[in-house]
Structure 1
């Protein structure tokens, strides 16, 4: 295909693995690296290639896509990435990290002759598998356009939101809304149960009205069933809400409801539920209600 690229994917976890698989299906030459080898082997089984290090993965790649858990993880691979990627290569960081870190890494990449965009995603594991992620992209207009053939393979909504770091700022706002919505859905479900209402029937009608939202569509069934298999872990959302509260404080913006939800997510994690899906906020509502 005319837009075929050699794409190195660093980080093949819950999100990165399906994204790499979709890049393979789109016809790109994908080489993946992950600290745990079984994830690399899974990509190879799907038609990709494996690498034994970051340096090996990025050498000769047209595009490098990183999907890692936190700012220190991205900073940790940046040295090998920038030292071994070819001049003119494009680095797409799809991780969710601090906006200031994204801007700083962009500057470091520019100094090495490497283009970079910050392109965090929303849609969770389901969106990654379906290739329907919403992607908020920060960087120059030229670099964002260069990234589109790759981003089109993993997402359905791709929007240039501003200069370097802007994608991460929009992602922080996304995580604020998502956490707050999950909390309200959790409270509503516990409230419905306490009154003996059929929760599935209630969700059907709520989802069709003004209260309708993606959390009801994608998370309510699991919350009703008590299935908190992680699509997005509490640990990661706790990290993201730390980014939100810190960035809001730096900007002098009050986020009173967001601050409360950040505390609730932290409390859920402190109770040992960090590896569960973030929809497990329902467990905390039940506990606060004396039901657990």
Structure 2
């Protein structure tokens, strides 16, 4: 069994590492926060205070970082620690151009890169049911498929381009954001005319309006008023901006996307950067309720 290194032990990375540990993988882990490393050492991982040590000790290195800038920074730091034939799997929500640049950079060391962002949030990471979107060499993907099957309930191979996994993730996020915003508006509008949110969700989920907000986010986090999806508005705005960057880089008009980007930025400003993504509904409930008054 290969030895896996994991760099980035936040809400997603720590849970994916636990899944891999529970499936018998030997793990070496790094995070700039010592307490994050220690919590996984207690579960059987080998901790290190140097990210480069992860590349030195592991056959497959997985990254789960805040964004493309951090990915490039870490790769620049650890690239000399890899051995020829090693694999880097980037799980970060990143840009296709960054992924492809990293793949070219590490190819000079004989290192393979798979762009493999995930969707499903911390709960999906904890349960091992994430959607995983993988771009890169198909033979390398097959070598790592058992690893993906541990963290993911739906693993999709996209194609040979490493960055295409990340392109897929960004477009997936965009549709998820649209669903969350429009479902929030629809629910509040229905409440204004006297409909019950639970009834509306039952109808939506039995027909063509079903989406990830109606089937998951509202029942799990919004109706119970927990608002604890562990996905901050700052991250939502960051992810949406990455998609806008791709639009700019490819010179692709993205009209509705620009509107959604501005709306997310405005809501983030109103709710605060640390507000949970699901609190978008609270914003619309307040603003649309005030409009009625």
* Structure 1 vs Structure 2 CA RMSD: 1.7
Count residues with an aligned counterpart: 289
2:150 counterpart SS class: coil
Matches of 2:117 and 2:234, distance apart in 1: 17
Contact 2:217 2:278 in 1 (8 A): yes
Calculate the TM-score normalised by the size of structure 2: 0.93
Calculate the TM-score normalised by the size of structure 1: 0.93
2:64 aligned with 1:50: no
1:153 counterpart SS class: helix
Q: C-alpha displacement at 1:285, in angstroms?
A: 1.7
Deviating beyond 4 angstroms after TM superposition, the runs of 4 or more aligned structure 1 residues are none
Matches of 1:272 and 1:189, distance apart in 2: 19
Matches of 2:250 and 2:69, distance apart in 1: 22
Q: C-alpha displacement at 1:255, in angstroms?
A: 2.9
- What is the correspondence of 1:15-54 to structure 2 with a 5 Å cutoff? 15-54=12-51
Matches of 1:287 and 1:47, distance apart in 2: 47
Q: C-alpha displacement at 1:50, in angstroms?
A: 1.4
Which residue of the other structure, out of 65, 80, 83, is the alignment partner of 1:83?
A: 80
Alignment deviations for residues 128-168 of structure 1 (CA, whole Å, 9 cap, x no partner): 11111111111111221122121111012112212121111
2:91 aligned with 1:94: yes
Q: C-alpha displacement at 1:41, in angstroms?
A: 1.6
Matches of 1:215 and 1:247, distance apart in 2: 25
Q: C-alpha displacement at 1:287, in angstroms?
A: 4.2
Partner of 2:178: 180
Q: 1:169 to 1:23 in 2, by over 3 A?
A: same
Which residue of the other structure, out of 152, 161, 174, is the alignment partner of 2:149?
A: 152
| Alignment gaps of 5+ in structure 1 | none
Alignment deviations for residues 102-132 of structure 1 (CA, whole Å, 9 cap, x no partner): 1100100101111111100111111111111
Q: C-alpha displacement at 1:290, in angstroms?
A: 4.9
Matches of 2:163 and 2:242, distance apart in 1: 13
- What is the correspondence of 1:82-231 to structure 2 with a 5 Å cutoff? 82-162=79-159, 163-221=161-219, 222-231=221-230
| Alignment gaps of 5+ in structure 2 | none
Q: 1:153 to 1:230 in 2, by over 3 A?
A: same
1:96 counterpart SS class: coil
2:59 aligned with 1:62: yes
2:113 counterpart SS class: strand
Contact 1:268 1:274 in 2 (8 A): no
Contact 1:9 1:64 in 2 (8 A): yes
Matches of 1:289 and 1:209, distance apart in 2: 25
Matches of 1:245 and 1:98, distance apart in 2: 10
Higher mean displacement: 274-283 or 167-176: 274-283
